[in-house]
Structure 1
Amino acid sequence: MTYEWLALTAAALWAISSLISVTPARHLGSFAYSRWRMGCTAVMLTSLAWFIGGWASIESSHILPMALSGFVGIFIGDTALFACMNRMGPRQAGLLFSCHAVFSTILGYWLFHETLSGKELFGATMVFSGVVIAIFFGRKQANQHIWEAVRGKIHIAIGLGLLAAFCQAMGGIIAKPVMETAADPVAASAIRMITAFAAHLTLRATGANIAKPLQHINWQILGITAINGLLAMVFGMTLILYALQKGNVGMVALLSSTTPIMILPLLWIYTKQRPSPFAWMGAVLAVVGTSILVS
């Protein structure tokens, strides 16, 4: 499978997991939900890396950059994303998070001197334009579902979404040099997740109010959280690391930014509310742009 399809598959998994996240994230709060999610995922990835022998490929020089990538991209980035989602819902948070493609492209060009051909640039522009149109103009004002309502101050929600996008981009940039080596992506993902989970545990140990759960966890919430971690982090983020082994940071980020497009039909099924014509227009642009990239 080429890196384009790896990134697109990860985007689809993130779209599904973002909808699954809404209930447990609002039940526990963004910090507590992230902590439980990362704990479940750290166990899964560590066990899987041991089972496939991935730990043997990790050198001492890989640990620090992957740990830093996990701290920035997962501990800060994922927590900010769920805080944004709790305030704006999965679709609008998806728009802001898709900006990680722009951040990744700029950082990739600046740090790794990556370039896009004319064809790739045209396709990438269509993908990102489709994302913006589908999410921003695709909002219906009448008879909004509860997931579309903005809770609290909108500028805080926007700031959290952009912070999540920037941290996601930085996490990929930091991980890129390691992923160009023979390091196993599953083991590398495990290091990132263990670091993020350890940071969450440290924060919880301080007794900070933001780390306390809004409500006690139950078996149903724990099960949903574990499934979400399996889809988004064990499969999704590991696929992204495989994609980074084969492709440049900007292109991987652009393709993975199609997640909010994929959310549209899922939201339609769940909320029984048809997306607006602008949402479908954006989806068509993104699909055409993606076909140009993967052809």
Structure 2
Amino acid sequence: MIPFFGEAAAFTAAFAWAMSSMIFSNIGGKVGAQTVNRGRLACSITCLTILHWVIEGQPWPSSVTWEQFGWLSLSSVLGLVIGDAMLFQAFVMLGARLSMLLMSTVPIMGTVLAWFLFDEVLSLQEMSGIALGVGGILLVILMKKGRPVGLEGRNYVIGILFGLGGAIGQVANLITAKYALIGGYSALSATWIRTLVAVVVMWGIAIAMGRARRTIVACTARDVGKWLMLGAFIGPALGVWLSMVAVQNANVGIASTLMALPPVLLIVYEGLVLRRPVGLQAVIGTAMAFGGVALLFLT
């Protein structure tokens, strides 16, 4: 085996998710958050079908029990439909960096929820990780410097709530999907089914509301379509696959910590590449949030 193969896959997955979040944030400002979400899902199911064909030997899953399908459908509605709808709205309002920072609360929420629901005992390291992560995120969202231009007061709070709503949807998505994966069911097949359910639901709503044609026109525009397909391939397809490779070939704690890097990569990108003023407080807060997540995963 190639040395550090799993760790490299985890870092590449984080890089892919950071890139896709920037792409979706940029085009979402042009055509609208939910238009991008619907288009992204359609592109994602195409990419996942090709990936499933290459990896599993067939374009779609051949077998799934009704119980598994039920859990995966619930996971899809909570995560890909409701959660991602909120996340994409946060992308438009807050930008990629702040939105992905709020998504880093997912492991924190999951740990706290497991404490409440399953009576799991929290170690001192886990409690320290939760405190450090929450403190870092609060440090960033409460600062003035580095906020999107013109986003103040009530609209900023609404954007933060959308970001946290996306994180809550992801936690619910992970918990419900876990029941379907018990017994070793293919994670790639589960991802394909969840994405297909989200496509049916989101496009069904668009058709019922008379927005399907407008979505197709917007998503096939020259300056949108190519970026939408690229973002869908990099994030939901390539990123998901690399995350599975990472977990299979590296220590889960190390892989999960590396895959929590998108907020750090995005703050580096904004500060060094785009030359945007992010502020020392944002750097410290993001580092604290990443440190808190690392403490949780490396317990």
CA shift digits 1:208-235 (9 cap, x unpaired): 5699549733133111111111222113
Q: Equivalent residues in 2 for 1:88-103 (5 A)?
A: 88-103=94-109
Deviates more, 1:255-264 or 1:158-167: 255-264
Compute the RMSD of aligned alpha carbons. Answer: 3.8
The Cα of 1:128 is off from its aligned counterpart by: 4.5
Deviates more, 1:100-109 or 1:3-12: 3-12
* 1:35–1:200 CA contact under 8 A, matched in 2: yes
Q: Equivalent residues in 2 for 1:1-295 (5 A)?
A: 10-53=13-56, 55-56=61-62, 58-123=64-129, 125-133=131-139, 135-136=140-141, 139-140=144-145, 147-150=148-151, 153-208=155-210, 212-213=214-215, 216-217=218-219, 218-238=221-241, 258-286=261-289, 288-289=291-292, 293-294=297-298
| TM-score of the pair, normalised by structure 2 | 0.78
Check 1:149–1:191 CA distance in 2 against 1; reply closer, same or farther (3 A cut).
farther
Matched letter for residue 119 of structure 1? Q
* 2:38–2:215 CA contact under 8 A, matched in 1: no
Check 1:203–1:270 CA distance in 2 against 1; reply closer, same or farther (3 A cut).
farther
SS in 2 for 1:275: coil
Check 1:80–1:283 CA distance in 2 against 1; reply closer, same or farther (3 A cut).
closer
Deviates more, 1:46-55 or 1:148-157: 148-157
The Cα of 1:15 is off from its aligned counterpart by: 2.0
Gaps of 5+ in 2: none
* 1:100–1:253 CA contact under 8 A, matched in 2: no
Check 1:138–1:258 CA distance in 2 against 1; reply closer, same or farther (3 A cut).
farther
* 1:80–1:160 CA contact under 8 A, matched in 2: yes
The Cα of 1:157 is off from its aligned counterpart by: 2.2
The Cα of 1:24 is off from its aligned counterpart by: 1.4
Matched letter for residue 165 of structure 1? A
The Cα of 1:22 is off from its aligned counterpart by: 2.0
Identical pairs, percent: 24
The separation in 2 between residues aligned to 1:42 and 1:281, in whole angstroms, is 38
* 1:32–1:213 CA contact under 8 A, matched in 2: yes
The Cα of 1:256 is off from its aligned counterpart by: 5.4
* 2:133–2:288 CA contact under 8 A, matched in 1: yes
The Cα of 1:196 is off from its aligned counterpart by: 0.9
The separation in 1 between residues aligned to 2:125 and 2:83, in whole angstroms, is 31
The Cα of 1:184 is off from its aligned counterpart by: 1.1
Matched letter for residue 162 of structure 2? L
| TM-score of the pair, normalised by structure 1 | 0.79
Q: Report how many aligned residue pairs link the two structures.
A: 289
Matched letter for residue 230 of structure 1? F
The separation in 1 between residues aligned to 2:117 and 2:8, in whole angstroms, is 25
CA shift digits 1:60-99 (9 cap, x unpaired): 4322211221121011111211112212222333343333
